Each structure stands twice: as C-alpha cells, then as structure tokens.
A and B are shown apart, each in its own frame.
Chain A
Amino acid sequence: MTQYILRRLLLMIPVAFLVTVGIFVLVRLAPGDPVLAYLGEEKDPVSIAAVRREFGLDQPLPVQYVAWLSHALRGDLGRSFHTKQPVIEAITERLPATFELGAAAILISVTLALLVGTLSAVKRNSAVDLLTSSVTLMGVSFPNFFLALLLILLFSYVVPGRIFPPGGYVPLTQDVADNLRRLVLPAVTLATASLAVNLRQVRSSLIDAFGQDYIRTARAKGLAERPVIFRHALKNALIPVVTIIGIQTGAIIEGAFITETIFFWPGVGRLAVQAIPSGDYPIVQGVVLVSALSFMLSTLVVDVLYAFLDPRISYGSARS
C-alpha cells in the first residue's frame, strides 16, 4: 500500500510540473502589462523599470518561471495588484467560506442521491424510477446560475417571511442560525448539478449489485429484502460512489466560481471572478493553481481509498 501511494505521488510530479507551466504561460499570455496594472495611475518610466526589475519581469521567461515556481513552493504566490495583500493570505482567509459551502452542497447531494437513487434502483422501471431519470437529466441540463436566480426569486418574493435570504454571509462563529439560513440557497444551487451525477451512479451501481450471485444467495437463504439492500447491495455499490464524491470534493472551487458570485458568498471563487475584469492576475493565477492542486490531491485520495475499499483491486494495477 505504501509503495502504491509513493508511486502515485511520483506520477503526480510530472503532471504537477506541466500544470504549473500551463498556469505560468496562461498568465503571461494575458493582454496588458502586469506592471502597469500593479502601478495603477503611476506612469513614470523610472518607476515602471524599477518594478519590472523588482518582479524579475526583465528576465527571460524560463528564468521568470523558475523564480515564480521557487516562490510558489515556499507558499509565496505574489501580491494582489490592487489590494497589495499576499495572494496566499487572500486565498486562505476565504477558504473556510468555500469549504463550508462545498461541504453543505456535498452533504445535500449525497444524502438525496442515496435516498432517491436506492428507491429508484429498488423500484426499477416504475413511475418513480422514470420520474427520477427525467429529473436527473433535467438537473444536468439546468444552468446553475439560472437555478440560483429562480431560487432567489422564489424565496424573496413568493414564499413569505424571507426564510432564506437571497445572499450575503455571516461567519459561523458569529451567528450560527443566520449563517445556516444564508447557506441554504447557495448550497442547494451547488448541490443540484452533482446530485444528478451522484443519483445516476447510486442507481446504476445498485442495479449492477442486484444482479450479483451474492445477492441471489442472500435472497435464496430467506433474508428479508431490507437487509439484502442495505447490508449487502448498498455496501458494495457505494464503492464507485466514493470515487465520484471524492472528485466533486476536489472540484468544489469550480462550482463556487458562479454560485459564490451570485449569492455574494465571500469565498475563493468570488475572489477570482472579481479579480478577472480588473486584471489582478496573481490572484487568478493563485486560485487556479490551488484549485488544480486540490483537484489532483482529491483524485489521489480517491485512488488510494478505492484500492483500500475494494480488496479485488491490486495496488500494482490500480493506476488508471
């Protein structure tokens, strides 16, 4: 097992290297001079040259890349052009809000997927199953920013009492009840797209499991249907579901880009979206790097967890 993890970590190195090269090149492709963006109104050629030298922008690109990477490896992702705040600090102070939103979305998505997916698989081809399949396909096709607006409209203007406010954030440590009330709409929005994928996975894994010999044996020895489903089928069917959930965990920032923007949720996604139009490239670069690394890390954790959960997978061949 240790050997397997080490090999997976080693395989990550060239990929991580290419990821950093990609992010570095992307930012250098961006239109406009980063020095002018950093200096703002200042147009003095001497100051421009000084800043260019200070940031190493007068060096050849490979040298700039090595310098950037060595700083990044030490946790220094530069400073925001506008607030001059260190990028890593800007990201870390917004991570708790993003994690809270992501965790709530995954909780909603997984709970509903398990309940409805199991019901759908047990009552295969029934009206419930057909309805679930249609709703699933609709969920995948519905743009989440449109759903967000509909939810805001519904809970602000149709449902009386404003149970769930249309946006804003109150830290959990400050007021738990208000934090949770404000969390509901963004979390439901973020959960919807992944719910469709999770539900589909739970249903198809369970249907696969129902066709296995051990389920037939369990039924043949007279076991009631409930333990057959929960103790035997669901337990095994959950293994592929773990993969999907793991990947979603890594992709939390992806969904947060839009959801956080609409609901004024002060997370990492909103930070990046606000930085794009103002040309604050260090922030965009930092958020993209953090989201790629967390995505890679979650894929690694999923692979290891998968090998651990399913004894049929040998560590030697588990690399996809």
Chain B
Amino acid sequence: MRSFARRNPRMVVGGAVVVLLLFTAAFAPFIAPYDPIKVDVARALLPPTGQHLLGTDDLGRDVLSRVMWGSRVSLSVGVISVSIGFLLGVSLGLAAGYLGGTFDLLAMRVIDALLAFPALVLAIAITAALGPQIQNAMIAIGIVAVPAYARLTRGQVLSVRAREFIVAARAIGVPPLGIVARHIFPNVTNALVVQATLGTAFAILAEAALSFLGLGPQPPYPSWGQDINYSQRYLANFKWWMSAGPGMAIFIAVFAFNFLGDALRDALDPRLRRSA
C-alpha cells in the first residue's frame, strides 16, 4: 500500500479528495452543522467564526452547510450525466465500430453535428429548452459528453475488430453481442475510465456554470454555482465569504477529478501518456 502511494502520489491524493467529496455528499444530512435552507435573519452576514466556519449568508444560512449540501447536487450531476454520456456514447461507438457501413456513417454524422456546437453552448441550449431543472442539466451535460465516448469507443473497436482473437471468436460461433461485450469492450475500459474521470470534472464545472446562469436547481435549494451567483450582490459590501465557500468547493472538486484523471491516464494508458 505504501509503495503504491509512493509510486502514484497523484492518484492517491486525487482519489482521497474524491472519496472525501463523495462521503460529504452522501452524509451531508448527518454531518452538516446546520439546516442549509433555514432562515435566521438575526445571524445574517456573519463572517467566518468558530460557530460558522465559512460564515453565514444574507438570510443567516450557514455557508458551510450549504456547501456540504451543494456537493450532493454537483456530484450527482457529475455522476449521472457522465453515466448518460457513457451509456449512450459507448453503445453508439460499439455499434458503429462493430457494424460499420451505413449505421457507422449515420452515427458519425450525428456525432459530428454534436461536436459542431461549443460544449457549453449546447448544454445551455438544451437546458434552456427543457426548462431550468437539475434533471435537465444532467441530461444536457450527458448529451454533450456523448461524442467523446462514442469516438473513443469506435476508434478502439476499429483497431481490434480485425485482430485474430475476434476472428477466432466469430469463427467458433460467438454471437455478435457476445463478441462486443466479452471481447471488444474489455479492451476499451482503461481509456473509458480515464475519460469518465476527466468527464466528471467537466460535468461539475458545467453544472456550476448552468446553475450560475439560473439553469440549475432553483432557490432556496443549495447549489454551488447558484450560490455564487446569489452572493455577487454582496461583493460590493466586501462579504467575500458568501462566494468563497462555494467557489473553493467547485475548484477543489474539479481539481481533484482532473488530478485523478491525469494520474489514471498515466497509469492505465501509456499510449495517451506519450501523446499528452
């Protein structure tokens, strides 16, 4: 264990922070010191103290508690949108790569069309069209992520499709779905794990941006991006702590997933490491 940590310090540090974030999100109702939406005007705009480690907002709500509850939104959007992108993208990539022909041509044009939009613009457009709700933000960020998984999977499938072990599996009568699931998919997993980790970092950042623009969860429920937007009006009064808590939380979460993703890329995919 110690030698693993010495060999992969970035993976250990990134992984530890990610585990800590997941723990906070899962147990926020038990570990958050205060109710995140309970208004207590008598305690409004208190700077950080021993009682309120990150201070309170204009309605007297504890910033730390809101940051802890906000992690549930950010991480669930991260995990669910990455899952949507992963499932759709990998299925499309596997089918396009394995089936080839017209299906491949059509699928890749759809992917090209998705790639024709700048990622955040597409996420904003989809969320604006579906309505400002957390589920819609998840769907939007998930759809934006589809091309990366589809292209990655398709490329890997094309490179292994003609290899001897696939030809052999086909020759002994393994059905196409079995070949894809048992022989092709395991060859893609390393690259996909890296993509999913880095994708979670993007998803958290994108959710924060959508919430900042008012397209995420609606008040009074805590969300990092929305809380920063709300606290903007108090910057002029130098009430910096209202934005500092959620801002640092976004930074730490995105940094941890990027850090872990980079470390995983180096450890799992030497081909990517060379090209990085």
Contacts and interface: CB of A to CB of B under 8 A. Distances in A.
Interface of A: 14-16, 18-19, 22-23, 26-27, 29-31, 137-138, 140-143, 145-146, 149-150, 152-153, 156-157, 204, 250-251, 253-254, 257-258, 261-262, 272-273, 276-277, 284, 288, 291-292, 295-296, 299
Contacts of A140: 254, 258
Nearest to B109: A14
A137 B125 CA distance: 28
A257 B116 contact: no
B238 interface: yes
Contacts of A16: 116
B124 to A, nearest CB: 6
A175 B130 CA distance: 42
A15 B121 CA distance: 17
Interface in B162-185: none
Given A29-B130, A137-B262, A276-B128, A295 B255 contact: no
A23 B112 contact: no
A150 B212 CA distance: 15
Contacts, number: 122
B251 A143 contact: yes
Nearest to B213: A273
B243 A30 contact: no
B12 interface: no
Contacts of B122: 288
A19 B247 contact: no
Contacts of A153: 235, 238, 240
Main SS of chain A's interface residues? helix
Please classify how large the interface on chain B is, using the bins under 10, 10 to 19, 20 to 34, 35 or more.
35 or more
Given A138-B255, A153-B240, A296-B116, A146 B124 contact: no
Best-buried of B112, B130, B255 by chain A (most CB within 10 Å): B112
Best-buried of A149, A157, A272 by chain B (most CB within 10 Å): A149
Contact of B109 (A15, A142, A258, A291): A15
B27 interface: no
Interface string B225-257: 100110010011010100100010011001100
A295 B116 contact: yes
B198 to A, nearest CB: 10
Nearest to B212: A145
22 contacts: A15-B112, A15-B116, A23-B125, A26-B129, A29-B130, A137-B262, A143-B225, A143-B228, A145-B209, A145-B212, A146-B228, A204-B276, A251-B118, A254-B119, A254-B120, A257-B213, A272-B124, A284-B125, A288-B122, A291-B121, A292-B121, A295-B116
Main SS of chain B's interface residues? helix
Contacts of A29: 129-130
Interface string B12-52: 00000000000000000000000000000000000000000
Contacts of A272: 124
Contacts of A254: 118-121
**6 nearest CB pairs, A to B:** A18-B113, A254-B118, A146-B247, A141-B255, A141-B254, A26-B129
B110 interface: yes
B212 A291 contact: no
B118 A253 contact: yes
B208 A143 contact: yes
Contact of B258 (A19, A30, A137, A258): A137
A295 B117 CA distance: 7
A258 B208 CA distance: 11
A249 to B, nearest CB: 11
A254 B116 CA distance: 12
B243 A149 contact: yes
Given A22-B113, A146-B228, A295-B116, A137 B255 contact: yes
B258 A146 contact: no
Given A141-B254, A258-B209, A27 B109 contact: no
B228 A149 contact: yes
B52 to A, nearest CB: 21
Interface string B215-226: 100000000010
Nearest to A145: B212
A52 B156 CA distance: 50
Contacts of B131: 30-31
Nearest to A29: B129
B117 A19 contact: yes
A1 B37 CA distance: 62
A27 B129 CA distance: 6
B121 A157 contact: no
B205 interface: yes
A26 B113 CA distance: 14
A143 to B, nearest CB: 5
Contacts of A251: 118
Given A204-B276, A253-B118, 13 more contacts: A15-B116, A30-B131, A141-B201, A142-B254, A143-B250, A145-B229, A149-B232, A149-B243, A257-B121, A257-B213, A288-B122, A288-B125, A292-B118
Nearest to B253: A141
B193 interface: no
B125 A258 contact: no
Contacts of B215: 276
Nearest to B202: A140
Best-buried of B117, B236, B276 by chain A (most CB within 10 Å): B117
